[in-house]
Chain A
Amino acid sequence: MNERPLALLPELLLLVGAVTTLLTGAFLPRGRQWVARLIAVGALLVAVLAALPAVGERSTVYAHSYALDPATTAARLLIPLAGLLVVGIAAGRVAGNRRETEFYVLTLLAVLGAVLLAGASDLLLLAVSYLLSSVPLTGLAGWGRDRRGAEAALKVYLMSALAGVGLLAGAALLTALGGGASDYDRLAAGLAGAPSAAVAVGVVGVLAGLLFKIGAVPGHFWVPDAVQGASIPAGALLTTVPKLGGLLAAYRLFAVAVPADVVDWPLLVAVLAAVTMTLGNFAAFGQADPRRLLAYSTVAQVGYLLMAVAVAGRAERALPALLVYLAGYAVTNLGAFAVLAAEPHDRLDGYRGLARRRPWLAAALTICLLGLVGTPPTAVFAGKLTVFTAAWDGGLAWLVVVAAVNTVASLFYYLRWLVPALSLPSGPPPLGTGSPRGPRVAVAVAAAVALIGAAGTFPLYGLVERTLQR
């Protein structure tokens, strides 16, 4: 049955890290919670290092329920690194807070849940990891314990419960239709002869859960409210980590488990992608709060990312494209949130004259926002280019046109933020207000990676094979 506990070392390390952080934090005085932070950072780093030896691995473990392949490897590397950036962003806001440790524990658990989501090759494990990654998100949304945080937490919780019911029901239905097998390999064989209407219902159910997780239409309603209500670092995590896990899970589900000749899921996903990007972009137009603007921008980005899922298994470069885009998106989005954390304002106008006050922060903001547009040579450009190419290759040229038009539209609202930030009011430069070290480091790292991304994706391709392990 392939029972190799050591194959799951990165996941185990994350779990051990979470437990250790929790226990350590419980015994630490309030002024020395930085020890817990250190442990959390150490756990994330060690998890990344532990994933490196398994880079070339292609197998499944525990009765085909967990796949060790390029997608899982990428998730094991990307998601903890994203978690590290979140901890960096959080350093200023949560340091010294009474519940500082809780934040790190929840972050570690959210990271673990997302990694499991990406690696799950079995509907039951998918359901479990869905729950494991949803609960910490709710906690993080309400971490601030203020009125808005409570609202955000409630919204995330209700939506996740609703979508979770869909996912569980869909998983049960698909398992039944597949002849009792829940692992993707045998499920695919079982579903091949099943009635397509019933399979479609099951797929829609499972997809509902995943769409909530990645914040795509119609499961996107929680995103803007949660990002606005939760603290900024929590918002950064909510819009990055679950998307990484959820999109890889969706890709794996469609590429391995659901045959396209039984249900026309490519069309369904393509339409969802088109609607998601359009809605995200147009909803972002009117936002005056940078947090809501970023939230809707993440919805739009998921639309582009779903294009790669829509051609899963049909375009040979769909998987590398998805991974490159995910990596670029994660770092660029976190960079934008890091700028927000380094200089929080409730309104876009608050950033007027940023270039004069804090030129480096303005430069980072420029890189990240233009990066989100997809201007070369940033990382998201490499992702967009590869995803567009893959989608066209997979026969979805119309979707590529929709995405290109959306990209032009998106430029408009990113510029609404960027133009005041770069405009230079006359008069002497006001003194820059100091910000904590953590966000500044996160800003610098994220912006630098986002900028050199297109050139930097080169080594990534060595890691990525084009197919998934069944």
Chain B
Amino acid sequence: MLSLIVFTPLAVAALLLLWRGLPASTVSWIWIAVTGVEVAAVLGVWWAYPGEGFAHEVDRPWIPGAGAGYHVGVDGLSLPLLALTTVVFAACAVYSLRRQRRPRQFAALFLALQTTCLGLFVALDLILFFVFFDLSIVGMYAVIAGWGHGPQARRSALTFFLYTFLGSLALLLGFIGLSVAAQPHTFDMVALTRDPPTQGTAGALVLSTVLLGLAIKTPTFPFHTWLPPAHTDAPAAGSAVLAGILLKMGTYGFVRIAMPMLPDAWRRYAWAIVVVGVVSVLYGALVALAQTNFKRMVAYTSVNHMGYVVLAVGAAGLVADSDAQARAVAITGAVTQMVSHGLITSALFLLAGVLYDRGGTYRMDAYGGLAADTPRFAALTAVAAFASLGLPGFSGFIAEFQIFAGSLSAAPVAVAFALPGILVTAGLFLWALHRVFLGPARHRLSATADLTAAETAAVLPLLALALLLGVFPRLLLDVVEPAARAVTDLVAR
């Protein structure tokens, strides 16, 4: 079942590539249909999920010489991200209706990329995880280099490729270290989680390489420098996937790999992770505040939002100063934040794409008074901005509330430092809304520049889901909480 969900997009991608003369509109509808079926399939898996442990497990030998297997399965940590992946890709498919040059190749590339993202979240083998991790980099490089805009697109794509490739190799080194320490040598996540192999200095070294790889992908301060240029030059749908899904690969790695497999080292260096999280929160927010480019600003708020996740998972490692209940809340908050950020930021990036499409620039000073001329665009952007700054009623509030509540007892000083981040984010979003939508008009856009039906249909469901999870968080938390408690216990071993 899971393999079918993971590899169906790839099969369709191959079909699209081979089928030359396919009309562009047919391509779009095939793409939308496949992503729609994927959403339905993952909802089916969610419905059938027993509530605890791994479901739909498949374990086959793959590269037996290296101890790597084809081992997949879902649990409360991966299921929400799996669902998020299908939703974001479906939104991108709808958004790209009648939009891209070379639509056939674009759709095929995105479908292949979807396979890598889905595969990563269901992987229960480190090498399988790495394979999808690496392939997602290649896919995103092709998206930015092939469909990016701006004179710097190639260069940004190359920076992105080299930087994240470095991260992925660091990750591979860590994985090899984990595997070599285990007896017998294995890359199986379940086996490595059951019996964490490394202790002492070796554990610290392995953790540092794994963390380097994940931190580059997440990205946290100071490894975030590839992110803003990559976002600025990527096409809107590419940015949505990059921010919505690819960044989650890093944070998902924290809770799936680093914490359960290296509990000893994680507890010892949790304070460092907390510090990195707080710095990311503040740095991301402050730099975002200074941006004049709308898309770059959103990109830096991603650094800020991922900083909260890092803070939470770090605080969950400070075992001595807090009870298990609070730590579980922090991890639940971290997972909720991944889902919430995925939904809201994808929506913001798609809206940024609309802005560029109509006005030809991301510079906020070039606009003004858009609220009067393009009311639908203004309304949805405002909703997305408020959701992103953590307004109660949206999923972001639930996530950040849990992160702060869970981390408070373990790291009160860190939380005190991170809280102003929310304030800055609120300020920068309000200021951005003010510059783009209010005041005298400095643009030459008419009412026809408002959102089209396809664009609305792409963005609205993302925001509606953020609202739904904000009002009825139990829908998500019921699945996440048991898994978060399990991670808490694993770290405290």
Chain A residues proximal to chain B, CB less than 8 Å: 317, 320-321, 324, 370, 375-377, 381-382, 385-386, 388-389, 392-393, 397, 400-401, 404-405, 407-408, 411-412, 415, 419, 422-424, 454-455, 457-458, 460-461, 464
Q: Which residues of A contact B170 (CB under 8 A)?
A: 404
Known: A324-B65, A454-B63. A376 touches B177 (CB 8 A): no
Contact B165 A411 (CB under 8 A): yes
List the one stretch of B127-135, B239-247, B336-344 in contact with chain A: B127-135
User: 3 nearest interchain CB pairs?
Assistant: A376-B131, A404-B169, A320-B65
Shortest Cβ distance from B137 into A: residue: A375
**Number of residues of chain B lying within 8 A (CB) of chain A:** 32
Known: A400-B173, A404-B173, A411-B162. A461 touches B180 (CB 8 A): no
What separation, in Å, do the CA atoms of A262 and B142 have in the docked complex? 52
Shortest Cβ distance from A323 into B: residue: B65
Would you give the shortest CB distance from B158 to chain A, in whole angstroms?
A: 7
Q: Which residues of A contact B161 (CB under 8 A)?
A: 411, 415
Contact B185 A389 (CB under 8 A): yes
Q: Which residues of A contact B146 (CB under 8 A)?
A: 422, 424
Contact B65 A408 (CB under 8 A): no
Q: Which residues of A contact B135 (CB under 8 A)?
A: 375-377
Would you give the shortest CB distance from B207 to chain A, in whole angstroms?
A: 15
Q: Does B281 contact A (CB under 8 A)?
A: no
What separation, in Å, do the CA atoms of A457 and B68 have in the docked complex? 12
Shortest Cβ distance from A386 into B: residue: B66
Q: Which residues of A contact B67 (CB under 8 A)?
A: 389
Known: A392-B176, A393-B180, A397-B177. A375 touches B65 (CB 8 A): no
Chain B interface helix/strand/loop/mixed = helix
> Can you report 21 residue pairs joining A to B where beta carbons are below 8 Å apart?
A317-B65, A317-B66, A317-B185, A377-B131, A377-B135, A381-B131, A385-B66, A389-B67, A389-B176, A389-B179, A389-B180, A404-B170, A404-B172, A407-B169, A411-B162, A419-B145, A419-B154, A422-B142, A423-B145, A455-B62, A457-B63
Contact B176 A458 (CB under 8 A): no
Q: B162's contact among A401, A404, A412, by CB below 8 Å, is which?
A: A412
Number of residue pairs A-B, CB distance < 8 angstroms: 85
Instruction: Name 13 extra pairs, CB < 8 A, besides A407-B169, A422-B146, A461-B65.
Output: A321-B65, A385-B66, A386-B65, A386-B66, A388-B172, A389-B176, A411-B161, A415-B158, A419-B154, A423-B145, A454-B131, A457-B63, A458-B63
Q: Which residues of B contact A381 (CB under 8 A)?
A: 131
Would you give the shortest CB distance from A453 to chain B, in whole angstroms?
A: 10
Q: Does B30 contact A (CB under 8 A)?
A: no
Q: A392's contact among B62, B64, B162, B177, by CB below 8 Å, is which?
A: B177
Q: Which residues of B contact A388 (CB under 8 A)?
A: 172-173, 176
Would you give the shortest CB distance from B267 to chain A, in whole angstroms?
A: 24
Contact B145 A422 (CB under 8 A): yes
What separation, in Å, do the CA atoms of A415 and B165 have in the docked complex? 13
Contact B61 A458 (CB under 8 A): yes
Q: Which residues of A contact B366 (CB under 8 A)?
A: none
What separation, in Å, do the CA atoms of A119 and B222 have in the docked complex? 52
Would you give the shortest CB distance from A409 to chain B, in whole angstroms?
A: 9
Shortest Cβ distance from B101 into A: residue: A424
- B55-81: CB near A (< 8 Å → 1, else 0) gives 000000111111110000000000000
Contact A458 B62 (CB under 8 A): yes
Q: A385's contact among B64, B127, B154, B158, by CB below 8 Å, is which?
A: B127
- B150-194: CB near A (< 8 Å → 1, else 0) gives 000010001001100110011011001101100001000000000
Contact A376 B180 (CB under 8 A): no
Q: Does B138 contact A (CB under 8 A)?
A: yes
Q: Which residues of A contact B131 (CB under 8 A)?
A: 376-377, 381, 454
Chain B residues proximal to chain A, CB less than 8 Å: 61-68, 127, 130-131, 134-135, 138, 142, 145-146, 154, 158, 161-162, 165-166, 169-170, 172-173, 176-177, 179-180, 185
Q: Which residues of A contact B166 (CB under 8 A)?
A: 408
Shortest Cβ distance from A324 into B: residue: B65
Q: Which residues of A contact B176 (CB under 8 A)?
A: 385, 388-389, 392, 400
What separation, in Å, do the CA atoms of A411 and B65 have in the docked complex? 26
Q: B63's contact among A382, A401, A405, A408, by CB below 8 Å, is which?
A: A382
What separation, in Å, do the CA atoms of A464 and B154 have in the docked complex? 44
Would you give the shortest CB distance from B400 to chain A, in whole angstroms?
A: 35
Shortest Cβ distance from B166 into A: residue: A408
What separation, in Å, do the CA atoms of A376 and B127 have in the docked complex? 9
What separation, in Å, do the CA atoms of A419 and B142 have in the docked complex? 10
Contact B127 A401 (CB under 8 A): no
Would you give the shortest CB distance from B22 to chain A, in whole angstroms?
A: 15
Would you give the shortest CB distance from A429 to chain B, in whole angstroms?
A: 13
Q: Which residues of A contact B65 (CB under 8 A)?
A: 317, 320-321, 324, 386, 457, 460-461, 464
Q: Which residues of B contact A393 (CB under 8 A)?
A: 180, 185
Would you give the shortest CB distance from B338 to chain A, in whole angstroms?
A: 24
Shortest Cβ distance from A457 into B: residue: B63
What separation, in Å, do the CA atoms of A376 and B120 have in the docked complex? 13
Shortest Cβ distance from B132 into A: residue: A376
What separation, in Å, do the CA atoms of A424 and B162 have in the docked complex? 22
Shortest Cβ distance from A317 into B: residue: B65
Would you give the shortest CB distance from B258 to chain A, in whole angstroms?
A: 18
Shortest Cβ distance from A393 into B: residue: B180
Q: Which residues of B contact A400 (CB under 8 A)?
A: 173, 176
Contact A386 B134 (CB under 8 A): no
Contact A370 B66 (CB under 8 A): no
What separation, in Å, do the CA atoms of A419 and B162 have in the docked complex? 13
Contact B64 A458 (CB under 8 A): yes
Q: Which residues of A contact B177 (CB under 8 A)?
A: 392, 397
Shortest Cβ distance from B134 into A: residue: A376
Contact B138 A375 (CB under 8 A): yes
Would you give the shortest CB distance from B299 to chain A, in whole angstroms?
A: 24
Q: Which residues of A contact B138 (CB under 8 A)?
A: 370, 375
What separation, in Å, do the CA atoms of A321 and B169 have in the docked complex? 19
Would you give the shortest CB distance from A431 to chain B, in whole angstroms?
A: 17
What separation, in Å, do the CA atoms of A381 and B172 have in the docked complex? 11
What separation, in Å, do the CA atoms of A397 and B62 have in the docked complex? 24
Q: Which residues of B contact A460 (CB under 8 A)?
A: 65
What separation, in Å, do the CA atoms of A457 and B158 have in the docked complex? 31
What separation, in Å, do the CA atoms of A388 and B63 have in the docked complex? 14
What separation, in Å, do the CA atoms of A165 and B86 have in the docked complex? 64
What separation, in Å, do the CA atoms of A164 and B63 have in the docked complex? 38
What separation, in Å, do the CA atoms of A419 and B161 have in the docked complex? 12
Contact B68 A385 (CB under 8 A): yes
What separation, in Å, do the CA atoms of A280 and B103 have in the docked complex? 40
What separation, in Å, do the CA atoms of A270 and B138 have in the docked complex? 31
Shortest Cβ distance from B127 into A: residue: A385
What separation, in Å, do the CA atoms of A376 and B131 have in the docked complex? 5
Contact B63 A376 (CB under 8 A): no
Would you give the shortest CB distance from A263 to chain B, in whole angstroms?
A: 26
What separation, in Å, do the CA atoms of A315 and B285 have in the docked complex? 49
What separation, in Å, do the CA atoms of A415 and B141 have in the docked complex? 11
Contact B185 A461 (CB under 8 A): no
Q: Which residues of B contact A454 (CB under 8 A)?
A: 63, 131
Contact A408 B169 (CB under 8 A): yes
Would you give the shortest CB distance from A92 to chain B, in whole angstroms?
A: 26
What separation, in Å, do the CA atoms of A419 and B145 have in the docked complex? 9
What separation, in Å, do the CA atoms of A141 and B243 have in the docked complex? 52
What separation, in Å, do the CA atoms of A85 and B67 have in the docked complex? 31
Q: A419's contact among B66, B134, B158, B180, by CB below 8 Å, is which?
A: B158
What separation, in Å, do the CA atoms of A292 and B272 have in the docked complex? 46
